[in-house]
Structure 1
């Protein structure tokens, strides 16, 4: 993976990654069963990227406009403690989280796909949108992923951060150790 020097410099400073859900962790579609149950699909490689990123010392949070038991369950599975749901105006929750964590804005990355994410995207140290993010968003972020929402954007950003912080190799070494025996 080739990482541009300006992107690597931003990613190297990151201590906290914040994610939107619909259009970032999912494919931006809403599915409903006949009985009204909401269904979402999460990409397991994105989840594994988040697990590795947390093991590397970068924490993760979620701020989403919709409220869903599925998102709470996914956060529980991934041990994500910082979850803000049902907040269509995300900025107050973001500012509360920044104050709570005591981080500088340059230490925070955010992945968002729509114009409602712009107030946060325009403030953080490393801003990212998926390949299928809104055009208005693409013109205002540091990086547009080569992956679409719900299909690898989160994993790519996790890897960019880990590679920029020189923590990726420890994970590769862990998985490759069995080959050396």
Structure 2
């Protein structure tokens, strides 16, 4: 299998999975460090896109994922993600990173599946790889290194990184 797309859940994968509310409603999500940088290496090799089922926090996720990081983001219910993926991709070409209770629906069908270290115990049953790190705490960066090692030429820690090697805000 040579993957063509990486699809990531936002909440619990890119974030710590917590929703912060005040009297006015949902106002904050905590995104972790390094994940965007690592994705900037991988997106030179395969398509990277995101899904979220969080309607109330969609604008927060959109600000980080679309506006700040420059990736596609779709609002897709956790129970409809498998059908959404089937409509767009050959499932054998998909790597999916999830964490949630219903993510097992897609995790067990895609070509390669990854679950964060703090992900749901049932979803972990269907993971090809489980990160040691938690969502929002460099789990995606860890997963990217794993993907590079497993499917591509790996990450060369001895190579000097230039702006040609990565995309994103730190490449400029």
TM-score range, shorter chain: 0.7 to 0.9
Structure 1 unpaired stretches of 5+: 1-9, 99-103, 176-181
Coordinate RMSD, CA, aligned: 2.0
- The structure 2 residue matched to 1:70, chosen from 60, 66, 81, is 60
Tell me the residue number matched to 1:47: 36
The offset of 1:171, in angstroms, is: 9.0
- The structure 2 residue matched to 1:156, chosen from 139, 142, 147, is 142
CA contact (8 A) 2:145 2:154 kept: no
Which ranges of 4 or more aligned residues in structure 1 deviate by more than 4 Å? Answer: none
TM-score, normalising length: structure 2: 0.81
The offset of 1:37, in angstroms, is: 4.2
Aligned length: 157
The offset of 1:21, in angstroms, is: 1.3
Specify the SS of the correspondent of 1:32. strand
CA distance in 2, matches of 1:52, 1:115: 29
By percentage of residues, which structure has more strand?
A: 2
Q: Which has more radius of gyration? A: 1
- Greater mean deviation of Cα atoms: 31-40 or 68-77: 31-40
Tell me the residue number matched to 1:97: 88
CA contact (8 A) 1:63 1:94 kept: no
